[in-house]
Chain A
Amino acid sequence: MATAEAENNEVITTADGVPLKESLKKALWQRKKTALLLVAPLFLFVLITFLIPIFDMLIRSVDNSIAGEQFPGVVVELSDWALDSTELPDEATFQALIQDFKVGAKEKTISRLGRRLNYEKSGMSGLFRKTARKIKKLESPESATAAMIAIDKKWGNIETWRLIKRESGKYSSSYYLAAFDAKKNSDGSFSMKSEEQQVYLNLFWRTIRLSFTITFLTIILGYPIAYLLSTVKTKTSNMLIILVLLPFWTSLLVRTSSWIALLQKEGVINDILVGLGLLGDDNRLAMIHNEAGTVIAMTHILLPFMVLPLFSVMKTIPPSWVRAARSMGATPFTAFVRIYLPNTVAGIGAGGILVFILAIGYYITPALVGGTKGTLISNFIAYHVSTSLNWGLAAALGTILLLLVLALYILYDKVVGINNMKLG
């Protein structure tokens, strides 16, 4: 009877007559609401401290609104002046230039545009400061063009105007070009900067190279340790893990000074090597304030991030697997390569990607022990954020770094599968 009824009305109801679907939905909504409430604080926190800043960084890396703000008149006048024109812009443009400069100089904001244009061409900052100083005395001249050229000859140079025209848009690719050591030519085409002017490509390459080296070293050093940890008794392994985590617990300055004490030319290691006669006194090894210093120190710091995922994977491998292989005739080496190693790939992958991503963005250690040859891309990002104040370039470099990490992550997912990743 009941089923026949249900078929007739096609609505199954609960005892009090509410349709079943609706009351189920209500019950589930209660649960969802609780879940949402539970994640809300963290979500807000992440939104404000992480997602919004990243979005802001993406915007900054292409933002060029400063041209429109400081040169509102000039930008409008320049819109019908062609980049490949062989003549200077017309008189109206120069009048707008004077007008914009007067406003900008009064509000003391015009030098910002000068700094911005200086990234593209040196001398622009000086030109803007000089012009801002002199523009106040300029009272409605007969020819604006002549008056500006009188202030500085550069206003009569067509290259100056081409630069302003090129950088007058709301958005600019110039930060990214700079980040790739490329530049825009006056005709709008791109080319690489000359060899000795290239900075960032080398730096990216060095960052990737060192990160790979560090990741490789942590695998080589971490694998046997993790294996040992996974085979000893729990009590012993807990104690050994504390030793592995020790780098986290020592203050950065203590660690750094001990590295310096150990690694410098007059340091402990060199002294021992010289003392043992393995090294001449006049060719002591340079192990700090260069790439070697960065690699040694960062391998030390990042080792736990390799050991812990490896350990957690190895703990799940029962000794009977290798024993089974051995009983079937496999040598210890074959049993390791064919049975043990393939089952720890998830741990190597997890540790590797963790260490690599941490290394590629590491800042403080290379800054302390890297000297000039061992600094990484993050150190330059920090430099542009806090010293040169070229935030656009810092943002572009940061964005490239972010994309690099994302690309790596996707690659890893394709090759190993992110679901196979086992952390701690």
Chain B
Amino acid sequence: MSSDNSLVRFVDIQKSYDGVSLVVKSLNLDVAHGEFLTMLGPSGSGKTTCLMMLAGFEPATHGEIYLKDNPINRVPPHKRGIGMVFQNYALFPHMTVAENLAFPLQVRDMDKSEQKQRVDRALDMVQLGPFGDRRPAQLSGGQQQRVAVARSLVFDPDLVLMDEPLGALDKNLREQMQYEIKHISENLGLTVVYVTHDQSEALTMSNRIAVFDDGIIQQCAPPEVLYEKPENAFCANFIGENNRFLGKVSEDNGDTVKVEIDNNAGTVIAKKVNVGGVGDRSTLSLRPERVTVNPEPGSLPNIFNGVAEELIYLGDHIRTRFTVLGHDDFIVKIPNSANHAQLEEGGTANIGWTAEDCRALDPSD
């Protein structure tokens, strides 16, 4: 991403709280104007820390953060013009909803009539028009969430940060709010840095996802790339469902490799993505929906005999657990199409996949 289009740039950011370990290890990341970027990662991977450094509440131990090409390490939070939505909403309990929304305008000494106009517009945007006089405690969780979003936008910040804003909502409401936030950000052309540990939320909302683990960005890519072309075992595993085999590379053919699965279970031909040469260990990753049951013999490079251990009928597809290549946790999603394979628990079947769909990645544990 070219730097003239980027709104935020993290350059070689490192962060340590205790002087012993690095919570963020060398972060380099650009966020473009108008982009919805999600930091996705398990709890403790340093996402909040990155957000706090960007907002100005934690100093970076090393490196520089640029906002519109200006270094901001020494700019105090209130001068950064960054809107923020917190996980527990951080609404001010002693103020009404309207007062909460007016707060950022008051501290900017905006005149009263414009304050009111903007507050009303923000409330309408999140469909809370009639609730201006209520206290936050008198609102439901979802409504509080909307107030928090409206409050972070009411002063037209350049950038909005959201730290697991939907974490406290139940599933239905969460999904609804995902769409609402996405639409608001699209309509207003906002630049959003969003933090979540929920991969489906990240896939739904983002233009780009930065997958965090252990203080490092494992991969930063649009959702479809991340899902279909994970570059390492962590991303493959963290995003979407994924069958894994561990083994050793026995043959390197440039685009593809042959991998001997541990315990002499068999040899699989896979796409060479993130693996060394012959003799290196590798993790093979294969999406459950990319497996064919009872393929034409010889039509696929990888065909093995498996035992169907468990069938779960899920309507649109049948989720089947196989034992294959010495693994009893191999999942296949069989689409419920007109002439799909008929299986029984305990029965055997041939299952196969292409070399393209099976990605040879780094040997993780």
Contact = CB atoms under 8 A, between A and B. Distances in A.
A292 interface: no
A423 B93 CA distance: 20
Given A323-B55, A323-B57, A334-B107, A329 B155 contact: yes
B88 A330 contact: no
Given A323-B77, A323-B84, A329 B108 contact: yes
B104 interface: yes
Contacts, number: 68
Contact of A328 (B83, B87, B161): B83
Contacts of B77: 323, 326-327
Contact of B84 (A318, A324, A332, A343): A324
Contacts of A419: none
Interface in B86-102: 86-88, 90, 92-94
A321 B83 contact: no
A221 B152 CA distance: 36
B81 interface: yes
A321 to B, nearest CB: 5
A147 B160 CA distance: 104
Nearest to A323: B57
A336 to B, nearest CB: 12
A338 B107 CA distance: 10
Contacts of B84: 323-324, 327-328
Size bracket of the A interface: 10 to 19
Contacts of A151: none
B82 interface: yes
Contacts of B333: none
Contact of B78 (A318, A320, A327): A327
Interface in B63-86: 76-84, 86
B55 A330 contact: no
Classify the interface of chain A: helix, strand, loop or mixed.
Answer: helix
B227 interface: no
Given A334-B107, A338-B103, A326 B90 contact: no
B321 interface: no
Interface string A300-343: 00000000000000000010110111111111101100110011
B155 A324 contact: no
Nearest to B55: A327
Given A321-B92, A323-B77, A342-B94, A328 B57 contact: no
A329 B103 CA distance: 9
Contacts of B151: 324, 328
A330 B78 contact: yes
A327 B82 contact: yes
B107 A329 contact: yes
A191 B274 CA distance: 101
A326 B79 CA distance: 9
A325 B55 CA distance: 12
Which of B77, B86, B161 has the most chain A CB atoms inside 10 A of its CB? Answer: B77
A396 B104 CA distance: 56
A331 B107 CA distance: 8
B78 A329 contact: yes
B161 to A, nearest CB: 8
Contact of B104 (A320, A323, A329, A342): A329
8 contacts: A320-B88, A323-B77, A326-B57, A327-B82, A328-B103, A329-B108, A332-B78, A343-B92
Closest 10 CB pairs of A and B: A328-B104, A320-B90, A324-B90, A327-B84, A326-B77, A320-B86, A330-B107, A329-B107, A342-B94, A329-B78
